[in-house]
Amino acid sequence: MVFSTMKRIEYTHKCLFEFPYFKMGQRHYPYIEVDLLYVDNEKKTEDVMCLLDSGADYTVLPKDLGESIGVDFSEMRVVNPPEGISGKISAKCYISPLNINFLGASFLTEVVWIESNDVNPVIGRKGFFDKFDVSFSQSSDKIALVFHSTPKCCFEK
């Protein structure tokens, strides 16, 4: 089944979706495609492949991607850099609200923007993992997502 990222769906039942891992040589990664929409700029959206990371508290994205979809960082406060398993990030970081559209549903959440081109876009737990039950099957290279029908977070365009 092919979904358009822009088509809104009102889910009335629990739905199970399975996605293959993104493969690069011997390494396989759980990526999903999401549509990003800044709340103050409904005209600019961007479809982005993001790593699904159950270990990340927040969704993390590069700042220049935010600027491309209309996020205004000029009056945004710099926040303490997040800490990962590899230590503290040294680049400037910001937090803003963002709409993440996925499988026809839309979620408003807070995301961390990092001023670095080395950032791999990551979907973290806040705002996403509370909408889906996510399971990773490394042996079969699949991500399984069960969407809980919560009509209030879905919008028809």
Partner 1 sequence: MISENFGFLMKGNFDKYSGEWIAVSENKIVAVGKSASEVIDKAKNIRKRTIMKIPNKRQILLL
Sign of CA dihedral 80, 56, 99, 129: negative
Cβ–Cβ contacts within 10 Å for residue 83, how many?
Answer: 10
**Should residue 65 be labelled a site residue for partner 1 when binding is judged by CB under 8 A?**
yes
- Which of 151, 156, 155, 141 lies closest to 14, judged by CA? 151
The whole-angstrom separation of Cα 27 and Cα 122 is 17
**Should residue 90 be labelled a site residue for partner 1 when binding is judged by CB under 8 A?**
no
**Should residue 33 be labelled a site residue for partner 1 when binding is judged by CB under 8 A?**
yes
- Minimum distance from residue 58 beta carbon to partner 1 (Å): 11
**Should residue 48 be labelled a site residue for partner 1 when binding is judged by CB under 8 A?**
yes
The answer to whether the CB of 52 falls within 8 A of the CB of 31 is yes
Please name every residue paired with 144 in a beta bridge, in sequence order, or none if there are none. Answer: 18, 135
Structural tokens at position 78: 């710099």
**Should residue 16 be labelled a site residue for partner 1 when binding is judged by CB under 8 A?**
no
Among residues 10, 40, 42, 47, which is the contact residue for partner 1, using CB under 8 A? Answer: 47
**Should residue 62 be labelled a site residue for partner 1 when binding is judged by CB under 8 A?**
yes
Among residues 20, 40, 78, 149, which is the contact residue for partner 1, using CB under 8 A? Answer: 20
Most distant CA pair in the chain, distance: 46
Footprint of partner 1 on this chain (CB under 8 A)? 1-5, 19-20, 22-25, 27, 29, 31-33, 46-49, 51, 53, 55-56, 60, 62, 64-65, 67-68, 84-86, 102-103, 117, 119-122
